[in-house]
């Protein structure tokens, strides 16, 4: 087991509805030493890739991506979930549907912070159905930039996102892939990697 899998096994809580609660170390209270170890692991997995920018999405991706960016020594851009309807031409815009929250968000990135010279590593905390990730990939595409790889902390392997993204040909590196979980017993089964 890697550091993240160990931590999920110790502190993750399985909730009804296939929700894994990891707020005590990942997405509410943040264990930045763990994030540093995760960054080192992604650095190994993406060795040889020419990465000059990290892209993530608010809110929970930002903390992880910031610590990981220190490892790669590159800036982080985070896509904003837009609150206003007025969008000027200075933004890349895409729509992200949240399967979990049953809502849609317009997601924006300023054109000033992403362009065709960029080689991007996308980082996020969860991959479930892949809607957020597809939105981020669309934004990189609009900028004419290159997706060098995708680093996910926790992939829910029993939902469709991972397969969709791998089938598109991207190098997707999820540090923990949960193949099944049981709210009644608290059991979490990880995919062998």
3 binds ligand G4P, rule: CB under 6 A:
no
Q: Whose CA is closest to 161, among 118, 189, 131, 186? A: 131
132 binds ligand G4P, rule: CB under 6 A:
yes
Q: What is the DSSP code string of 161-190?
A: HHHHHHHTT--EEEEEEEEEE-TTT--EEE
Burial label for 171, CB within 10 Å (0-12, 13-18, 19+), is: middle
Of positions 47, 101, 116, 185, contacts ligand G4P by CB under 6 A: 101
125 binds ligand G4P, rule: CB under 6 A:
yes
Task: Report how far residue 112's alpha carbon sits from residue 118's, in angstroms, rounded to the nearest whole number.
Answer: 12
- Residues 7-26 touching ligand G4P, rule: CB under 6 A, are 19-22
In the complex, what is the shortest distance from the CB of residue 124 to ligand G4P, in angstroms, rounded to a whole number? 7
> Using CB under 6 A as the criterion, what x/- string covers residues 53-72 for binding ligand G4P?
------xx------------
131 binds ligand G4P, rule: CB under 6 A:
yes
Taking CB under 6 A as the binding criterion, the range among 1-9, 30-38, 42-50, 120-128 that sits at the site for ligand G4P is 120-128
In the complex, what is the shortest distance from the CB of residue 161 to ligand G4P, in angstroms, rounded to a whole number? 5
In the complex, what is the shortest distance from the CB of residue 20 to ligand G4P, in angstroms, rounded to a whole number? 4
Q: Are strands 53-57 and 76-82 parallel, antiparallel or unpaired?
A: parallel
In the bound state with ligand G4P, the residue whose beta carbon lies nearer, of 60 and 94, is 60
Q: Whose CA is closest to 107, among 87, 80, 86, 89? A: 80
47 SS3 class: coil
Q: Count residues contacting ligand G4P (CB under 6 A)?
A: 21
H helices of 13-60, where?
A: 32-45
Task: Report how far residue 151's alpha carbon sits from residue 42's, in angstroms, rounded to the nearest whole number.
Answer: 7
In the complex, what is the shortest distance from the CB of residue 158 to ligand G4P, in angstroms, rounded to a whole number? 11
Where do contacts with ligand G4P occur on this chain (CB under 6 A)? 19-22, 27, 59-60, 98-101, 125-132, 156, 161
């Amino acid at each position: 087991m890697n550091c993240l899998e160990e931590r999920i096994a110790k502190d993750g809580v399985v909730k009804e509805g296939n929700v894994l609660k990891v707020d005590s170390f990942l997405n509410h209270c943040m264990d930045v030493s763990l994030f540093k170890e995760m960054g080192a692991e992604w650095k190994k997995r993406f060795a040889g890739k020419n990465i000059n920018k990290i892209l993530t999405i608010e809110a929970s991706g930002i903390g992880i991506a910031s610590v990981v960016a220190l490892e790669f020594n590159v800036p982080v851009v985070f896509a904003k979930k837009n609150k206003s309807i007025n969008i000027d031409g200075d933004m890349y815009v895409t729509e992200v549907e949240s399967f979990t929250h049953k809502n849609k968000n317009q997601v924006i990135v300023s054109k000033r912070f992403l362009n065709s010279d960029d080689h991007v590593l996308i980082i996020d905390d969860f991959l479930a159905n892949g809607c957020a990730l597809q939105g981020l990939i669309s934004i990189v595409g609009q900028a004419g930039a290159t997706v060098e790889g995708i680093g996910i902390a926790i992939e829910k392997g029993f939902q469709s996102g991972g397969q969709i993204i791998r089938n598109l040909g991207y190098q997707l590196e999820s540090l923990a892939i949960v193949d099944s979980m049981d709210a009644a017993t608290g059991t979490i089964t990880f995919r062998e990697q």
